Copies of this chain bind each other. A is one copy, B any other.
Amino acid sequence: MTDIDSVVAESNRRLDAIDRKILTVLQQDASLSVAEIGDRVGLSSTPCWKRIQRLEADGVIIKRVALVDQDKIGLGLSVFVSIESGDHSDAWLKTFADAVSAMPEVIEFYRMAGDVDYMLRVVVADMRAYDQFYKKLIGTVPLKNVTSRFAMEKIKSVTALPVPPMPVS
């Protein structure tokens, strides 16, 4: 997927109701056999397989991954970090974005509208590890204000997005 095909493949075909069902199923459980998925969406395995291939070629399905229990690998602490950067050049911004993106503790990183400029979700082992991360963060580039909010309890965390119903046409 590094040649012309990858561009051609990115056709933005509208997703029909069956594609949406497939996405809903695969977001929940990607270990199902194609035949099983076909059953659930009312298709036999070949057409179901073709649709999945196409959804992957189109980039609708990004990839398949295993989800790992945060606590079981000793990463007990989730932190939401709000950053005010102050006024900066495009070059500064790129440096900042690249540096933060490269930190493996950073699971999510968004540029925001409004009072906060950037928002991070960071996962670390404990407070000590967070302190190290924090020092690394503020040591990388100058920042106007950084606020850390610590999670006490994960009530819900999913990767499955709510696939919208098909537009009426």
Beyond A108-B154, A111-B153, A114-B149, list 9 extra A-B contacts (CB 8 Å): A27-B67, A28-B65, A29-B65, A31-B63, A60-B68, A62-B68, A70-B161, A107-B156, A108-B158
A31 to B30, CA, bound (A): 9
Q: How far is the CB of A59 from chain B (nearest CB, A)?
A: 6
With known contacts A28-B65, A113-B152, A159–B161 Cβ distance under 8 A:
no
The answer to whether A72 and B59 touch across the interface, beta carbons within 8 angstroms, is yes
Residues in B whose Cβ lies below 8 Å from that of A72:
12, 58-60
Residues in B whose Cβ lies below 8 Å from that of A27:
65-68
In the complex, residue of chain B having the shortest beta-carbon distance to the beta carbon of A10 = B72
Q: How far is the CB of A162 from chain B (nearest CB, A)?
A: 4
The answer to whether B107 and A73 touch across the interface, beta carbons within 8 angstroms, is no
Residues in B whose Cβ lies below 8 Å from that of A62:
66-69
The B-contacting residues of A in range 118-142, CB under 8 angstroms, are 118-119, 121, 123, 125
The answer to whether A64 and B61 touch across the interface, beta carbons within 8 angstroms, is no
Residues in B whose Cβ lies below 8 Å from that of A115:
149
Residues in B whose Cβ lies below 8 Å from that of A15:
73
A113 to B147, CA, bound (A): 13
| Any B CB within 8 A of the CB of A8 | no
A157 to B101, CA, bound (A): 9
The answer to whether A112 and B150 touch across the interface, beta carbons within 8 angstroms, is yes
The answer to whether B67 and A64 touch across the interface, beta carbons within 8 angstroms, is yes
